Amino acid sequence: MDAAETKQSHDSQSSAALTLAALGIVYGDIGTSVLYAAKEVFNPSHGIPLDHGTIIGGISAIFWSLMIVVSLKYVTLIMRADNKGEGGIMALLALASSAVQRYPRWRSGLMLLGAFGAALFYGDAVLTPAISVLSAVEGLEVGMTALKPFVVPISVGVLVALFAFQRHGTAVVGRLFGPVMVMWFACLAAVGVYSIIGNPLILAALNPLHAITFVTAHGWASFLVLGAVVLGVTGAEALYADMGHFGKRPIRIAWFGLVFPALALNYLGQGALLMSNPEAVGNPFFMMFPGWALYPMVGLATAATVIASQATISGAYSLTKQAIQLGFLPRMNIIQTSDKEIGQIYMPGVNWILLAAVLAAVIGFGSSSALASAYGLSVTGTMLIDTFLTFFVIRFAWKYNLALCLLATVFFIIVDVAFFSASILKFSEGGWFPLLMATIVYTVMITWRRGRQILMRRMQSSAIPLDTFRNSLLDHPPTRVPGTAIFMAPESGAVPHALLHNLSHNKVLHERVIFVTVIISDIPYVQAGDRVKVEPMGNEWYTIRMNFGFKDRPDVSEGLRLCAAHGLEFNLLETSFFLNRETLVPVTGNEDGMALWRERMFATMARNASSITDYFNIPTNRVIELGTRIEI
């Protein structure tokens, strides 16, 4: 075998492995939508009669939603808008905002819109585990109605175990995800084909005219049922969000090669069952299976929903980390659970808050049908914002013709608006829950971002330019002592407050003075060769700019090691880090301030943020903190 054939063989093996992994991580959410989507579309509460015409129309609506929203919008269009290979709403936001830098007002608006889309994702991260696990365990009711009182307690037990496991990381279980999901999709396809053979008339649902008729021929009820149809595409955002882990090609191969065919066959199979037995509308998915297969499928479905839940939980960690580094949330404790994969992290604070919210949803709503009303709003809101941000990327970053940009996005925006409008009509039935969550998270995010801006202005108003300060010290030099002093410096080039306090109290300056500025770029990762830039200032003063992507870990210790290539080496035993700790005092009457309650919220978040030494990986035994009192 020659070199070219060997490379091709390795590439094929790598692609196959990534495709299998993508099946386990990316498609858990959308792959478990079959448990509840069709059931909710044909829910008698919508007022649409259950006859052959409406069954064909409803299944057609789900099929063509998958085709339009997932195959065309996400897999074909939005996955092209990658940020250095990364996807997800934060990556898309960074790409869109950098594309409109010449328009500051647009950029501010897009940042706020993207932040709200991210806040909506947290609603998805709560509702996906809740509705998925509940709908799987509800399969027990099909076999034995006496088990109905145990559905919620069993679901709670599964979810508590899932969240408790998070601190161990997902590397071990992750290897099992792909094969389990292959088995799941194979079962979906097999039972779908079996059911279709029993009533092949359902294949008429492949005609899009039946979908159009279904969503237009029943008046107000047709509009309402769109809020249930969209449940079939929940999880579409995951295809884009996890693109950086697997690449576009494996995700596309998995979708068109297995996932989409399996889902289509299963939905068609559920429709065929309903045409033969309308009484199966209570749970058409599990009633497709013969009695001997029911309980094994409940077990497999529970495993699949745990995998779907794991994907959204991990996504919440990743999104939170990105939001912190883009300046939307305070520092939080981040634990790396893998020595090999930077994306495998655990955030204790996020984990337990999510668990509390998930248990509240499961116990409060009590069934997957009740949760379905709440689920659609967060999903459709995020999808709509994705489409809107994509327009700015293809117009201003890719510089495509305006007519082409409108053609590429307006159709999807119309579809998204229709789904979102139908979902928001279910506000009183549960839609308030994800909207309330998103509002709380969004308020926290914009308060933190605004507070940091005010804080920076306060500090800059009394700041001294570094060059001016250094020149004054050259005229009246203080006593120099052995060792290296490192000061974390703002990007503005002002003198760090910690240096002023140290000079004021100790009256000395170290023989080598380093100013480190950490910059988080709007790209996911920064290569090691581009990570640091060293600039000598003379008289043993240096500035170091450390660049990190919004998915990198900001690691100052590693950055200092990289400085050796630039002729600047450090002995940490002879190095001291001087950090500033601000004590924030909320006050009223400042023209550029916030409402007092928001200032108090910001001060509380700042006070409870995780240690800057842990966040930037600074040796704790070499740190000296000096305090500053600042009114905001």
Query: Percent of the chain having pLDDT more than 90?
Result: 40
- For 404-438, how does the pLDDT look when each residue is reduced to its tens digit (9 = 90+)? 899 889 999 999 999 999 988 888 888 889 889 99
Q: Are residues 285 and 309 in the same domain?
A: yes
Cα-Cα-Cα-Cα dihedral of 466, 471, 476, 479, to 10°? 50
Q: What angle do CA 268, 274, 276 make, to 5 degrees?
A: 105
Q: Are residues 416 and 488 in the same domain?
A: no
pLDDT at 546 (0 to 100)? 95
Q: What is the 3-state secondary structure (H, E, C) of 315-361?
A: HHHHHHHHHHHCCCCCCCCCEECCCCCCCCEECHHHHHHHHHHHHHH
Kind of pairing between the strands at 479-488 and 508-520? parallel
- For 537-579, how does the pLDDT look when each residue is reduced to its tens digit (9 = 90+)? 988 999 999 999 888 889 999 999 999 999 999 998 899 999 9
* Token output for 624: 């000296």
Q: Are residues 441 and 493 in the same domain?
A: no
Alpha carbon 37 to its chain's center: 23
Q: Is residue 459 part of a domain?
A: no
Q: Are residues 46 and 80 in the same domain?
A: yes
Q: Are residues 492 and 625 in the same domain?
A: yes
Q: Are residues 429 and 566 in the same domain?
A: no
pLDDT at 8 (0 to 100)? 44
Half-sphere exposure of 336 (CA within 13 A, CB side): 14
Q: Is residue 458 part of a domain?
A: no
* Residue 522 bridge partners (DSSP): none
Q: Are residues 239 and 331 in the same domain?
A: yes
At 224, which helix (H) or strand (E)? helix 220-229
Q: Is residue 11 part of a domain?
A: no
- For 252-270, how does the pLDDT look when each residue is reduced to its tens digit (9 = 90+)? 999 999 999 999 999 999 9
Q: What is the 3-state secondary structure (H, E, C) of 369-411?
A: HHHHHHHHHHHHHHHHHHHHHHHHHHHHHCCCCHHHHHHHHHH
Residue type, 322: Q
pLDDT at 278 (0 to 100)? 92
Give the position of tokens 């971002």. Answer: 449
pLDDT of 493 over the 90 cut = no
Q: Are residues 78 and 138 in the same domain?
A: yes
pLDDT at 519 (0 to 100)? 92
- Looking at residue 627, the DSSP 8-state letter turns out to be E
Q: What is the mean pLDDT of residues 64-87?
A: 88
Residue 547, domain extent: 464-631
Nearest to 185 by CA among 261, 114, 124, 246: 261
Q: Is residue 6 part of a domain?
A: no
SS3 625: strand
The Cα 490–Cα 469 span in angstroms is 15
Residues 6 or more apart whose Cβ sits within 8 Å of residue 53: 210, 213
- For 366-394, how does the pLDDT look when each residue is reduced to its tens digit (9 = 90+)? 888 888 878 888 888 989 999 999 999 99
Q: Is residue 496 part of a domain?
A: yes
Residues 6 or more apart whose Cβ sits within 8 Å of residue 130: 159, 358, 361, 362, 365, 371
pLDDT at 340 (0 to 100)? 53
* Residue 4 bridge partners (DSSP): none
pLDDT tier for residue 3 given thresholds of 50, 70 and 90: very low
Question: Please, what sign has the CA dihedral across residues 228, 230, 233, 234?
Answer: negative
Question: Please, what sign has the CA dihedral across residues 588, 594, 597, 600?
Answer: negative
pLDDT of 343 over the 70 cut = no
Kind of pairing between the strands at 335-336 and 532-538? unpaired
Q: Are residues 470 and 432 in the same domain?
A: no
Q: Are residues 349 and 394 in the same domain?
A: yes
What's the number of domains the chain is made of?
Answer: 2
- Least confident stretch, 7-21, 199-213, 493-507, 600-614: 7-21
pLDDT at 175 (0 to 100)? 60
Nearest to 181 by CA among 95, 73, 301: 301
The Cα 160–Cα 348 span in angstroms is 14
Look up the pTM and report it: 0.82
Q: Is residue 457 part of a domain?
A: no
- The answer to whether 118 and 90 are in contact (CB under 8 A) is yes
- The answer to whether 250 and 18 are in contact (CB under 8 A) is yes
Q: Are residues 201 and 83 in the same domain?
A: yes
pLDDT of 486 over the 70 cut = yes
The Cα 88–Cα 343 span in angstroms is 13
SS3 152: helix
Q: Which of 450, 482, 511 is the last residue of a domain?
A: 450
pLDDT of 6 over the 60 cut = no
DSSP conformation letters of 180-209? HHHHHHHHHHHHHHHHHHH-GGGGGGGSHH
pLDDT at 2 (0 to 100)? 47
Q: Are residues 106 and 63 in the same domain?
A: yes
Q: What is the CATH number of the domain that holds 255?
A: 1.20.1740.10
Q: What is the mean pLDDT of residues 77-84?
A: 82
Q: Is residue 304 part of a domain?
A: yes
Q: What is the mean pLDDT of residues 460-470?
A: 81
Q: Is residue 284 part of a domain?
A: yes
* Token output for 151: 């559905």
- Looking at residue 465, the DSSP 8-state letter turns out to be B
